[in-house]
Amino acid sequence: MRDGGRLAAAIEVLTEIESRHRPVRLALKAWGDSARYAGAKDRAFVSGLVLDVLRRRRSLAWRMGEEGARAAALGVLKFLWGWAIERIAEAAGEAPHGPGPLSDAERLALETPRDLADAPASVRGDYPDWLDASLARAFGEARAEEGAALAERAPVDLRANRLKTGPGKAMKALAPLPVRATGVLPEALRIDPPRADERAPAVEAMPAFVKGWVEVQDLGSQIAAACAGEVKGQQVLDLCAGGGGKTLALAAAMETTGQIYAYDSDARRLTDTIRRGERAGVRNLQVRTPAKPEPLKGLEGRMDLVFVDAPCSGTGSWRRHPDTKWRLTPQTLEKRLADQDLVLDQATAFVKPGGRIVYVTCSVLPEEDEDRVAAFLVRHPEFAVRPATDDPTLARHLTPDRYLRLSPRSAGTDGFFVAVLEKVR
């Protein structure tokens, strides 16, 4: 495909997302299924352009002075990808596959865009207006900068699986890829983001991944698991295990001692946990499925650690799932708050005296983070807050209330919140 056809395809996908409210993954798949002629580079170009528009939709509309998929796509090419205006004009007007020649207004907007410095914080930070008050609580005057960081492309983070190898050996095995150590956690490795129109590295095709030497896991997620502290020889329940990323990180830290139980209210999510656990060489994992009656019976009051990776808005993962920030509604957020209260209350039944709950969200909203912990402590005064980490490298990310808050701008990770709650009586 030539540039004009790629540009037109991206606009088509964006229009489909907007008009039919389809998740970007499904819209791109539908386009790919219908465009059998498109090669790998074409698909990477279209996907990269679509995702960059979704990341920066509001600021692009401001700079172009116009809403809509076409204006935003043209804006990405100029302001984010650095294309010359004549190259953009050539692609747009390319017959018969381009989306149509540039109008005078479009050319003027590309040449002399509106200054973002004059825009409201929600436009500069590329997030919905209704979230401005929440983000102001979390980040104050820096909320636009934090939002902009959440609109950047994300790296590919990896965790070397200590059950099978060390980080040095894992890096050597991944040598064909541009892997580097993060310098934050010993097992945490990183591949910096490729250009938007290039394909991400095929990590899952590497022998090191197939053999279970490494797992794909955001650095923030790895840090959240590390906040569990010493877990060797302990009894651990991952109450919202999902696909098992943090379950495997906890199991690796346990080094085949103690016992880890993985549970999720959706039995389908646990399929990946079982498969990934086998590949990673985990031998002390029990998966408790809700498909069976009373799946958690017998665990009451026995756990040293209950890890609660709570269902949340996902605002911390906007870099990876940019369409979700435009689909999030106040009603959805309210449901998540109720879910979080419920799962925290459920967790208390399994913690033994002196044990702890580690509460984690992939969210940057205080309503899902500090507010939920505060409400929990009122309902359960037998628990007390402990510092989320004693790692001096991570201590700068502690809040005054001793919670851990991570964000792309502050930590180079997805947005995460961690609270450690100890059962003191």
At 88, is the secondary structure helix, strand, or coil? Answer: helix
Residues of the chain with CATH 3.40.50.150: 219-423
Report how far residue 359's alpha carbon sits from residue 189's, in angstroms, rounded to the nearest whole number. Answer: 24
Mean pLDDT of the chain: 96
In which region does residue 340 sit, left (phi positive, over 0), alpha (psi from -120 to 50) or beta (all else)?
alpha
**Which of 273, 263, 209 shows the shortest CA–CA distance to 239?**
263
Measure Cα distances from 61 to 55, 76, 147 in Å. Answer: 12, 10, 16
What are the pLDDT digits (tens) for 350-399? 999 999 999 999 999 999 999 999 999 999 999 999 999 999 999 999 99
pLDDT of 238 strictly over 90? yes
**How distant is the alpha carbon of residue 312 from its chain centre?**
11
Give the tens place of pLDDT for each residue, 89-98.
999 999 999 9
Q: What is the C-alpha to C-alpha distance for residues 133 and 328, in angstroms, rounded to an integer?
A: 15
Neighbour-count burial of 141, counting CB atoms closer than 10 A to its CB (0-12 exposed, 13-18 middle, 19+ buried): exposed
Q: For the chain, report the end-to-end CA distance as a whole number of angstroms.
A: 66
User: Which one, of 421, 299, 286, 295, lies nearest residue 349 by Cα?
Assistant: 299
Overall CATH class of domain 156-212 = alpha beta
Q: Is 401 annotated as a binding residue?
A: no
**pLDDT tens digits for 306-350?**
999 999 999 999 999 999 999 999 999 999 999 999 999 999 999
Short-list 368, 352, 378, CA closest to 419 = 368
What is the pTM for the complete model shown? 0.95
Three-state DSSP class for residue 199: coil
Give pLDDT, residue 196: 82
Q: Is residue 309 a known part of a binding site? A: yes
Class of 219-423 per CATH? Answer: alpha beta
CATH 3.30.70 residue spans of the chain: 156-212
CB contact burial 165-187 (16+ within 10 A = b; e otherwise): bebeebbebbeebebeebebbeb
Q: Report which of 135, 22, 184 is spatially closest to residue 363, judged by C-alpha positions.
A: 135
Q: What is the pLDDT of residue 200?
A: 83
DSSP state of 118: G
Residue 108: count other Cβ atoms within 10 Å of its Cβ.
13
Averaged pLDDT, 115-125: 97
314-324: pLDDT as tens digits: 999 999 999 99
Q: What is the β-pairing status of strands 404-406 and 416-423?
A: antiparallel
DSSP 321: -
Residue 106 in this model has a pLDDT that exceeds 90: yes
Residues 260 and 288: beta-carbon distance below 8 Å: no
Active site residues: 362
The DSSP call for residue 362 is: S
With a pLDDT cut of 70, the percent of the chain lying above it is 100
The one-character DSSP state at 344 is H
User: pLDDT (tens digit, 9 = 90+) per residue, 270-287?
Assistant: 999 999 999 999 999 999
Lowest-confidence segment of 33-47, 69-83, 160-174 by average pLDDT: 33-47
